[in-house]
């Protein structure tokens, strides 16, 4: 049976959903009736012409919040802070949130490929900037070549806004050099929530999920970025991520740490993780190194070793095994939580496959899991006290 979707239904429901998420009404039925009544009244006032509702007054919806906000209920259930806005041709362009794209469709790629010519020197700089970008890790050589061909260089100056919170997502950016502040506005207050220093990437979530930009990125120094347009990003990266979702979805759902997350939050994790394979005895991370990634064991076993300052001086360089991680378990989170160097080293036992998340994605997406991980710090300290009589190995930043 063929079912035809009426024109405008998709956009109508999308806009309604956005307003529900913004207002979080306690009386959903009353909110819905009021919402559509206002739409109808607005249409009637415009002479019976129905226009698509694509923007709303007030703060843009936050899609990357780490916490839950309590809804602010007024005295009247129907008193919600929204006003459907009617768009005309003089307003901002229609939101890309209404754009339809199904990455699971195996249709022939007929779109013309975008190519920005580059010198050999530019190509070398671009490859160096992109070598550790997790979103590119699972691309095959042909896909990666198409992505690099489509990327363009953008020079920035201090205080230049690269992207602005609430805007539509047009490009994904990879940092070649420079410092950038991450600013989030909420309740009429702007707050610096993080920064990038000479490496990293940003802008992918708005392109992946067709949502407004969730933060403002401001250059604090002169710098250089490499941009990738949304068409190429969605054609290559999203199709690749759809395949990755099918591969990792059931595994991520089985990881105990992530069970407290909503399904949509787990899917965002799938979208940003990369995969790394280590051979028997290979060191995955080293005690004392700067923390840049979080690891989940997919297959194999990882042993965790620590150099103790409390052992005798003749054994000062000896590493002592304090634990092992197997499928579904994680490691590397301690240094990210405490903002200190790695407190231990990790080695592969046999061939090991790990899912890896960089520090920016860790901070952005695993906020709801932070309490669980912090509780484990106490467990680590108890282990160290039992083995060495002290937990100084864990808490001393000089290790």
CA distances from 284 to 201, 359, 376 (A): 23, 16, 21
Q: For the chain, give the percent of residues with pLDDT over 90.
A: 29
Q: How far is CA 294 from the centre of its chain?
A: 13
CA gap 123, 53 in Å, rounded:
43
What integer pLDDT is reported at residue 78 of this predicted model?
A: 44
pLDDT at residue 177 tops 60:
yes
Is the separation of the CB atoms in 349 and 399 below 8 Å?
Answer: no
**Predicted pLDDT at 309:** 59
Exposed e or buried b for every residue in 304-319, given b needs 16+ CB within 10 A? bbbbbeeeeeeeeeeb
Instruction: Report which of 177, 165, 175 is spatially closest to residue 205, judged by C-alpha positions.
Output: 165
The backbone torsions φ and ψ at residue 56, rounded to the nearest 5 degrees and listed phi first, read: -140, 155
SS3 6: coil
Quote the CA–CA distance of 328 and 241 in Å, as a whole number.
Answer: 21
Cα separation, 325 vs 241, in Å, equals 27
Write out pLDDT tens, residues 235-246.
888 887 777 777
pLDDT digits 0-9 by tens, 242-298: 777 777 888 888 888 787 778 878 878 887 788 889 999 999 999 988 888 889 999
| Per-residue model confidence as pLDDT tens digits over 192-227 | 988 999 999 999 888 887 889 989 999 999 999 999
Asked if residues 376 and 329 have their Cβ atoms less than 8 Å apart, the reply is: no
Q: What is the pLDDT of residue 16?
A: 78
**What pTM value is reported for the model?**
0.46
Q: How many CA atoms lie within 13 A of 92 on its CB side?
A: 10
Spell out the residues 6+ positions from residue 82 whose beta carbon is closer than 8 angstroms to its own. Answer: 19, 22, 23, 35, 56, 57, 58
The one-character DSSP state at 261 is S
């Amino acid at each position: 049976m063929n079912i035809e979707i009426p024109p405008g239904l998709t956009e109508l429901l999308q806009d309604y959903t956005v307003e529900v998420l913004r207002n979080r009404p306690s009386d959903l039925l009353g909110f819905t009736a009021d919402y559509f009544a206002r739409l109808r009244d607005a249409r009637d006032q415009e002479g019976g012409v129905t226009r698509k509702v694509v923007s709303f007054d007030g703060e843009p919806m936050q899609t990357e919040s780490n916490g839950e906000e309590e809804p602010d209920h007024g005295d009247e259930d129907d008193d919600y802070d929204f006003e459907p806005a009617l768009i005309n041709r003089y307003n901002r362009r229609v939101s890309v949130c209404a754009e339809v794209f199904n990455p699971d469709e195996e249709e022939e790629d007929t779109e013309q490929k975008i190519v920005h010519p580059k010198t050999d020197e530019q190509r070398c700089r671009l490859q160096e900037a992109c070598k550790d970008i997790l979103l590119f890790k699972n691309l095959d050589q042909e896909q990666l070549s198409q992505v690099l061909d489509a990327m363009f260089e953008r020079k920035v100056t201090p205080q230049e806004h690269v992207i602005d919170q609430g805007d539509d997502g047009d490009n994904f950016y990879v940092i070649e050099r420079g410092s950038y502040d991450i600013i989030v506005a909420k309740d009429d207050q702007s707050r610096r929530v993080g920064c990038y220093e000479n490496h990293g990437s940003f802008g992918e979530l708005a392109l992946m999920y067709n949502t407004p930009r969730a933060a403002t990125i401001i250059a604090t120094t002169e710098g250089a970025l490499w941009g990738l347009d949304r068409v190429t990003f969605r054609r290559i990266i999203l199709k690749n991520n759809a395949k990755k979702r099918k591969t990792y979805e059931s595994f991520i759902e089985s990881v105990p740490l992530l069970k407290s997350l909503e399904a949509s939050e787990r899917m965002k994790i799938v979208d940003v993780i990369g995969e790394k394979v280590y051979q028997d005895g290979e060191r995955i991370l080293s005690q004392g190194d700067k923390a840049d990634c979080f690891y989940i064991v997919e297959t194999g076993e990882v042993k965790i070793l620590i150099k103790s300052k409390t052992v005798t001086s003749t054994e000062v360089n000896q590493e002592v095994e304090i634990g092992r991680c197997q499928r579904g378990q994680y490691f590397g989170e301690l240094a990210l939580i405490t903002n200190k160097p790695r407190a231990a080293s990790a080695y592969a036992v046999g061939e090991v496959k790990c899912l890896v998340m960089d520090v920016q994605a860790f901070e952005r997406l695993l906020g709801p899991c932070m309490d669980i991980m912090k509780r484990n710090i106490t467990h680590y300290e108890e282990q160290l006290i039992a083995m060495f009589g002290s937990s100084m190995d864990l808490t001393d930043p000089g290790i």
